[in-house]
Structure 1
Amino acid sequence: MADTAEGAPRRRGRNETEEERADRMWQELIQEVRVAQMGVQILFGFLLTVVFTEKYDDLTDTDQTIYLMTVVLGACATGALIGPVSLHRLVSGRRVKPQAVRLASRLTLLGLVLLLATTTASLLLILRVATHDGFVPFLVAGVVGWYLLCWFVLPLWVRHRHTSQ
């Protein structure tokens, strides 16, 4: 704890019970999940329509494999990012909110990793079909690096730099 000008210790953080903390963290988590859910649902919905286009039959076997992997990744990401809602609904009122928040947080993180994989595979497929150029893997790697930086590296750096946990 840091000292104030009067020499008294200054408190850091919140003075909340485990249940109050779980309630607050649940609300924050749900707001975060809403953003990710919207993105994965739009992407997944788009992916489901591709197979019904005329262009799908013209894809190479490799591109069709990438497409199928992308759809499966999108389905898994959707499941992981909607999972916290189902978890909350099924355990609501059972006095396990702190445990539910921890599990929902893990599901959300897994969903973000799966969303990263889905987005990567989608980008790879689109750029392969659109350009057929050898620089596609480098573009995709650059975008993946950017996502990793924004989604994981910077948050982990802030956590490491500004917390003791």
Structure 2
Amino acid sequence: MDVDHPELDQQWNAAARSETEAQRLDRNWSSLLQELRVTQTGVQLLTGFLLTLPFQDRFAALSPGLHVAYLATVACSLTATVLLVAPVGMHRLLFRRHKLRPLVSAAHRFAFCGLLLLGAALTGVAVVVFGTVVGENAGVLAGAVAAATMLATWVAYPLWMRHLHG
């Protein structure tokens, strides 16, 4: 669904797929749910793992900088979890209310923001793990590489493809 130009998306789908708006919304909702199934499991496992770390003996020995990185990582992971699960709760409250258009639009935005925060959490994990095992400089470098890789593959490349293929 082209959130920036929904009228163009609707025209293209009507011509290319012979879809009604309701069929397009159903397809977009199903597609989004498939994406959320993949990300929800991963972000929930990551969040659960992160929540166990303070209870490990070695956690107290981390530097103040790594404690801050850890807390920022947990905040990103928790918020990503909330945003990636939110469409399910929204669907339950809007079920049979004929609100699929705003649901798909809001869920798309929540999923995108959730993915960005998941990327930030994964970056933080790289910082904390490499910072703990090798040293803080290595942690910062690992975090930068992780962030650059995710930005390149999750944002820059898809935007380039969107631009290239119109």
Q: Is 1:146 matched with 2:152?
A: no
2:98 to 89, 95, 100: 95
Equivalent position amino acid for 1:110 in 2: C
**Aligned equivalent of 1:120:** 123
How big is the alpha-carbon RMSD for the aligned residues of Structure 1 and Structure 2? 1.5
* TM-score w.r.t. length of structure 1: 0.87
- CA displacement at 1:137 relative to structure 2: 2.3
**Aligned equivalent of 2:27:** 24
* TM-score w.r.t. length of structure 2: 0.87
User: CA deviation digits over 1:124-161, x for unaligned, max 9?
Assistant: 01111110163432332122111111111111112222
Q: Within 2, Cα distance between the matches of 1:68 and 1:14?
A: 47
**Aligned equivalent of 2:3:** none
CA contact (8 A) 2:46 2:77 kept: yes
Q: Within 2, Cα distance between the matches of 1:130 and 1:93?
A: 52
Give the ranges of 4+ consecutive aligned residues of structure 1 lying more than 6 Å apart after TM superposition. Answer: none
CA contact (8 A) 2:77 2:118 kept: yes
Pick the structure with more helix per residue: 2
**Any residues of structure 2 matched to 1:6-17 within 5 Å, and which?**
13-17=16-20
User: CA deviation digits over 1:77-102, x for unaligned, max 9?
Assistant: 00000011111111111111011101
The total of aligned residue pairs comes to: 153
Q: Larger C-alpha radius of gyration, 1 or 2?
A: 1
Equivalent position amino acid for 2:135 in 1: H
- The answer for unaligned runs of 5 or more in structure 1 is 1-10
Q: Is 1:53 matched with 2:74?
A: no
CA contact (8 A) 1:81 1:108 kept: yes
Equivalent position amino acid for 1:127 in 2: F
Between 1:56-65 and 1:137-146, the stretch displaced more is 137-146
